[in-house]
Amino acid sequence: MGSEPLLFSRLLIFSKIMWVLFLIAHLVGNTGYNTLLRHASAKMKVDSIFLATVMSTAIAAPAAVGFAIRGIDVSRFDARLWWLFALSCAIAVVFHICNAKALECTEASVFALLYNLRIVGATAFGILFLSEPVAPLRMAGGGLVFLAGFLLLGRAGTTPRGAALTVLSAVLISSLNTLEKHLIQELGYANYVFPSALIVAAALWGIVLISRRPVDLSLFRTREITGLFALRIISAYGFTLALGLGGLLSISTYVSSLTCITTAAAGILFLKERDALGRKLAAAAIALAGVTILSLAA
């Protein structure tokens, strides 16, 4: 009996270590994914909705293997959970499209900073719907992130449409992550993540085919496609596995939001997006200060 608390403590420490490692993997994957996606959509002129569909297919590939092994336990669903499951799939479809379209007309570095407005949504939704604790410093940190985003509105390689799509993407991902956290808790990781990924990919392929979007098969013969697939998988599953291991939505989002620094750096270094460099660096510094305060508050 005396060894049980020690075992529990070690398991708790192990789960926290794995949670952090999954979030680091997500951070690396998300940075590379958004940078390559910006390159593919803006430089290679690939249709944004087709790109969104390709990215959802990347997430669905591991899910197909998992679903074949685990299946789905429908006994864990009730009417409310079925409705939330359907809502999360619908939000994911819209998010994939908005995310790709935003990067089509917004520099990767600017996108990452504006996209960090999701911190506000994640904090609010976590408190309201997931009973996460309130920390006073979060308002200060969130205010700094807002300020960083405000500095880039209409400047540094974005348009009003691009800014609006990016902010909409931030709202959508905050809503989606809230539903994901709740549904993973209620249904189990495999029971939610695998079937939802397959449904979202199928819905997006349906949109591409029905609306006769241009399907550029040459994309699959480029060097970028392998990187896009791998990084999208790492980004998506790194975040959901962190949530599945008990990570708070708000804290997970704070760590993820460091992409405002890493993606901005990648955009400047690899995509040569150096217009309004001083404004970008100032916004990145303010965003980093905000994320640091939010992390301390958490």
Mean pLDDT (whole number) for 122-142: 73
Q: Are 241 and 68 in contact (CB under 8 A)?
A: no
> What whole-number distance in Å separates Cα of residue 191 and Cα of residue 180?
11
In the chain, where are the structural domains located?
26-297
Q: What is the largest CA-CA distance in the chain?
A: 65
Structure confidence by residue, pLDDT tens digits, 259-285: 666 766 766 666 566 666 677 777 778
Check pLDDT > 90 for residue 194: yes
Tokens encoding 27: 């951070």
Check pLDDT > 80 for residue 208: yes
pLDDT band at 195 (very low <50, low <70, confident <90, very high): very high
Name the burial class of residue 75, with classes exposed (0-12), middle (13-18) and buried (19+) by CB atoms within 10 angstroms of its CB. exposed
Confidence at residue 68, expressed as pLDDT on a 0 to 100 scale? 93
Which amino acid makes up residue 30? N
C-alpha of 78 from chain center = 27
> What whole-number distance in Å separates Cα of residue 284 and Cα of residue 263?
10
Q: Are 61 and 237 in contact (CB under 8 A)?
A: no
Structure confidence by residue, pLDDT tens digits, 105-126: 776 566 766 777 777 777 777 7
Who contacts 273 (Cβ-Cβ below 8 Å, separation ≥6)? 107, 108, 109, 157, 267
